[in-house]
Chain A
Amino acid sequence: MSEILSPLPGTFYMRPAPDAPNYKQVGDSVAIDEVIGLVEVMKMFNEVRSEVSGKVVRYAVENEDPVEAGQLLLVIE
């Protein structure tokens, strides 16, 4: 089990644009360096990439949730 933490404080987005599909769904496989979400900090969008490969077990936050630096975003197995 690996945890992906938010690198920055801000707003978390599960998808690249409001009308686009989510980067990942629970059960999807994830490769190393693949984008799993965005964190918006003061109107700047930062991609969050996975450091491991595996499957998405669960998201710990919802789309557009405020997040702290170091907060758990999703769990990968």
Chain B
Amino acid sequence: MTKIHKLLIANRGEIAVRIARAAQELGLQTVAVVSDADTSSLVAQMADEVVNIGPAHPAKSYLNADAILRAASETGATMVHPGYGFLSENAAFARRVTQAGLIFVGPSAETIECMGNKSVARETARRAGVPTVPGSTGTVGDLETAVAVAAVVGYPIMIKASAGGGGRGIRVAKDEVELRQFMPLAQGEARAAFGDDAVYLERFIATARHIEVQVLGDGKNVIHCYERECSLQRRRQKIVEEAPSPTLSQHTREALCESAVRLAAAVGYCGAGTLEFLYDDESGEFFFIEMNTRIQVEHPVSELVTGVDLVREMLRIAMGEPLRYRQDQIFLKGAAIECRLNAEDPERNFMPSPGKLSALHWPGGPGVRVDSHVYAGYTIPPFYDSLLAKLIVWDEDRASAIRRMQRALAETRIEGVHSTIALHQALLADPSVKSGHFHTGYLEQWMAQRAAAKAQALLPDLTAH
């Protein structure tokens, strides 16, 4: 007899709703855990049981492993789905869930640890024959070694402080003359800024795209559900995602997806995961950057182009079922786009806009999907992220999908709070976006140009006097 499972959803917002939907379709009992700020949330209304796990502050509720495990024990939950963010990539939490005799919906704590460490993940990739961004092996201490490495890697090359991060401690040398000039400067800057003069070299990719591959594994076999293009970002936050990528040739697509499967298989991957790559539009090369061992925000675009319900498959795999698909049963069909609608005011530097939704109307019709946790009359709390909804469309091809998204955006009514709808409308009308020509820096350049053009238009006409 199959065991009847009860799933605790250790998250909030739209992903908690998404998980509850998949669980209900599988006939699982559900437990929602909520903070004081989320007692009237949509998932709290959908779930069979609701447990308050603490105050609004995430550290006291959604990041509080003790409170979550206590809720699991009190309700007799047998499985825990971590969603994304919060504890989803916390190996210690995964281990505690397992040690409590429950199923963690995701890979093992060991896999989370292995792929969460950038240098271990990079080394694992290298051993699996998956390309990583070309550069020095470890740090470079002297100038002549740096020049030798650059001769192999090619110019322009980045000199990066080992102890740096978030874009700090980076210099770009366009040739050997600059490398000889910048190397000592970069070492000095690294020492001054981070107390450590260790630097390493990495190829500078001027127009990189962020392309990621969705995989599913059951611990024995791994398949991919093709790639997502996520290059339209603001401050490293994805704004629009699509599948498939408009830039890849069929040959490159197959090579990229096979690489991802090879790497996931190398770690015996179990569950849904995403391998992120940088893609160099000029050379056509792709390089592995990191793996996310969880479901991602933008997973619906992959679901729409392959017909695979990723969250439901995650749950089935966690319950011990083998993968239900072979790779030759996964077909890429049409094009899907996701717009992240945030409660922010794009006219005022994306100022967060929490508050009560006085009126709400979602778009409908063919090929339109809305993943959201908000409803008319709901008050968006100020304590968490600003994601209001994910608007996702599918159509036969990319141009049709963009038109369908424009139609869906125009149908959407969100009143009471500011939203980023107008930004999406303008972005999807941009000729470069429409033709699929962009990179990870494109959206910020585009916004800066629009701001400059607007400022120009507002200048008083002095010549009239």
Contact B56 A11 (CB under 8 A): yes
Contact A9 B382 (CB under 8 A): yes
| A33-51 at interface with B (beta carbon < 8 Å) | 40-44
From A8, A42, A64, B384 is in contact (CB under 8 Å) with A42
With A9-B354, A66-B37 as known contacts, state yes or no: A42 contacts B386, CB within 8 Å: yes
Dominant secondary structure at the B interface:
loop
| B333-363 at interface with A (beta carbon < 8 Å) | 343-344, 351-352, 354-355
From A9, A43, A64, B386 is in contact (CB under 8 Å) with A43
Contact A11 B59 (CB under 8 A): no
Once bound together, how far apart are the Cα atoms of A9 and B400, in whole Å?
Answer: 41
Once bound together, how far apart are the Cα atoms of A40 and B352, in whole Å?
Answer: 10
The count of chain B contact residues (Cβ–Cβ below 8 Å) is 18
Q: Would you call B174 an interface residue if the criterion is a C-beta within 8 Å of the partner chain's C-beta atoms?
A: no
Contact B56 A41 (CB under 8 A): no
In the complex, what residues of A have CB within 8 A of residue B344's CB? 42
Say how far B187's CB is from chain A's closest CB, in angstroms.
Answer: 28
Once bound together, how far apart are the Cα atoms of A64 and B36, in whole Å?
Answer: 14
In the complex, what residues of B have CB within 8 A of residue A9's CB? 354-355, 382
With A11-B57, A42-B343 as known contacts, state yes or no: A66 contacts B352, CB within 8 Å: no
Closest chain B residue to A39, Cβ basis? B382
Say how far B12's CB is from chain A's closest CB, in angstroms.
Answer: 13
Once bound together, how far apart are the Cα atoms of A64 and B56, in whole Å?
Answer: 9
In the complex, what residues of A have CB within 8 A of residue B343's CB? 42
Closest chain B residue to A63, Cβ basis? B57
In the complex, what residues of A have CB within 8 A of residue B59's CB? 64
Say how far B374's CB is from chain A's closest CB, in angstroms.
Answer: 14
Contact A44 B383 (CB under 8 A): no
Binary CB contact string for chain B from 69 to 109 against chain A (1 if under 8 A, 0 otherwise): 00000000000000000000000000000000000000000
Contact A66 B385 (CB under 8 A): no
The count of chain A contact residues (Cβ–Cβ below 8 Å) is 11
In the complex, what residues of B have CB within 8 A of residue A42's CB? 343-344, 352, 354, 382-386
With A11-B383, A42-B382, A43-B385 as known contacts, state yes or no: A66 contacts B354, CB within 8 Å: no
| B39-67 at interface with A (beta carbon < 8 Å) | 55-57, 59-60
Dominant secondary structure at the A interface:
strand
With A9-B382, A11-B383, A43-B385 as known contacts, state yes or no: A64 contacts B352, CB within 8 Å: no
Once bound together, how far apart are the Cα atoms of A47 and B382, in whole Å?
Answer: 16
Once bound together, how far apart are the Cα atoms of A60 and B351, in whole Å?
Answer: 26
Contact B56 A44 (CB under 8 A): no
In the complex, what residues of B have CB within 8 A of residue A66's CB? 36-37, 55-57, 383
With A66-B37, A66-B383 as known contacts, state yes or no: A44 contacts B57, CB within 8 Å: no
Once bound together, how far apart are the Cα atoms of A43 and B13, in whole Å?
Answer: 15
In the complex, what residues of A have CB within 8 A of residue B55's CB? 66
| A1-19 at interface with B (beta carbon < 8 Å) | 8-11
Closest chain A residue to B379, Cβ basis? A9
Closest chain B residue to A18, Cβ basis? B59
In the complex, what residues of B have CB within 8 A of residue A43's CB? 352, 384-386
In the complex, what residues of A have CB within 8 A of residue B355's CB? 9
In the complex, what residues of B have CB within 8 A of residue A10's CB? 354, 382-383
Once bound together, how far apart are the Cα atoms of A14 and B405, in whole Å?
Answer: 44
In the complex, what residues of B have CB within 8 A of residue A8's CB? 382
Once bound together, how far apart are the Cα atoms of A32 and B436, in whole Å?
Answer: 51
Once bound together, how far apart are the Cα atoms of A44 and B55, in whole Å?
Answer: 19
In the complex, what residues of A have CB within 8 A of residue B56's CB? 11, 66
Once bound together, how far apart are the Cα atoms of A10 and B380, in whole Å?
Answer: 11
With A10-B383, A66-B37, A66-B383 as known contacts, state yes or no: A41 contacts B57, CB within 8 Å: no
Closest chain A residue to B352, Cβ basis? A42
In the complex, what residues of A have CB within 8 A of residue B354's CB? 9-10, 41-42
Once bound together, how far apart are the Cα atoms of A10 and B386, in whole Å?
Answer: 12
Say how far A14's CB is from chain B's closest CB, in angstroms.
Answer: 13
Contact B352 A41 (CB under 8 A): yes
Besides A42-B352, A42-B383, 9 other CB < 8 A contacts?
A41-B352, A41-B382, A42-B385, A42-B386, A43-B384, A43-B385, A43-B386, A66-B57, A66-B383
Can you report 11 residue pairs joining A to B where beta carbons are below 8 Å apart? A9-B354, A9-B355, A10-B383, A11-B57, A41-B352, A41-B354, A42-B352, A42-B354, A42-B383, A64-B60, A66-B55
Tell me the B residues contacting A by CB distance below 8 Å.
36-37, 55-57, 59-60, 343-344, 351-352, 354-355, 382-386
Tell me the A residues contacting B by CB distance below 8 Å.
8-11, 40-44, 64, 66
